[in-house]
Amino acid sequence: MTGPVRTIRYREIADALRRRAESGEFGAGRLLPSEAELSSAYAASRVTVRRALELLRDEGLLDARQGLGWFVAVDPLRQSLGVLDTIEGQLSESGRAPERRVLEFAFVAADAHVRAVLGVDQVLRVRRLNLADGEPFARVTVWCPAELAGEMSRADVERSSFYELLDTSLGGATQTIGAAAASASDARLLEIPVGSPVLRCERVTLDTSGKPVLLSVYVFPAHRTEFVVELPHAGESIAPGGLRLVQSS
């Protein structure tokens, strides 16, 4: 009886999880409880729970990533690196509903790194959470020289992007992307486990004279984000331009 009962049990668990996902309890890209938690909730062995999860993965409903866990399958949000644009703009173009929540708005003394990049001592620092279709998508921190941000209010940055608010012409940006592990604070905001994989993007935006006017740091859940680079021409090397190796200490 053990074999048939176990077979029926894993299908029952799969059916229950499917209903929970389809009802919206687990949103697209949202993590499910851990296998241990599901095992306890359904009074079943982890072997049985994993079989149920694997069945839903075979159906295309769930997916899993090492170090992250199981989540409702979702097409990654693609961002092009070939154009200077906002998160909200790219989300809207992809058919997703963007939303921003400002977590901090403060004029502060620039730390050493910010001072080195922007060349100023006082900055406006804005921290926010960006969402796509109601799901956390990025934690963003932006530093802007105080002399350029003096007239900005919290309501302004909740409503509009810095690109729209700055009274200066933008000339371009340099963007550096690397892999990292989610800190406790970012994990809480992005609703992912501490230490799970994230993509960290640092962008320095310049005005038309080449002077840095914004420093921005974005942290994206790795399972929800892809960056796309167009390589229209092949030269002596096929490596993407600007690619460099970072040696660990």
CATH of residue 198's domain is 3.40.1410.10
Question: Same structural domain for residues 195 and 94?
Answer: yes
Between CA 201 and CA 142 the distance in angstroms is 12
Domain that holds residue 49: 2-72
Token pair recorded at residue 198: 């994230």
Question: Same structural domain for residues 145 and 52?
Answer: no
Question: Same structural domain for residues 191 and 105?
Answer: yes
Q: Give the total number of structural domains in the chain.
A: 2
- Is 244 contained in some domain? no
Q: Which segment of 19-33, 77-91, 111-125 scores lowest on mean pLDDT?
A: 77-91
Q: Which of 72, 88, 107 is the last residue of a domain?
A: 72
From the list 217, 167, 219, 233, the residue with the least C-alpha distance to 188 is 219
- Is 180 contained in some domain? yes
Question: Same structural domain for residues 108 and 219?
Answer: yes
Token pair recorded at residue 60: 């295309």
Q: Provide the pairing of β-strand 197-207 with 212-221.
A: antiparallel
Under 8 Å between Cβ of 27 and 135: yes
Q: Which segment of 63-77, 102-116, 135-149 scores lowest on mean pLDDT?
A: 63-77
201 pLDDT higher than 70: yes
Between CA 217 and CA 206 the distance in angstroms is 15
Between CA 145 and CA 219 the distance in angstroms is 22
* Strand blocks (E) in 117-234: 122-132, 135-145, 170-181, 197-207, 212-221, 225-228
73 pLDDT higher than 90: no
Report the alpha-carbon angle 173-195-48, nearest 5.
130
Question: Same structural domain for residues 208 and 110?
Answer: yes
Question: Same structural domain for residues 165 and 67?
Answer: no
pTM: 0.71
Question: What pLDDT is attached to residue 94?
Answer: 67
Q: What is the CATH number of the domain that holds 18?
A: 1.10.10.10
Q: Which residue has the higher pLDDT, 243 or 84?
A: 84
Question: Same structural domain for residues 63 and 171?
Answer: no
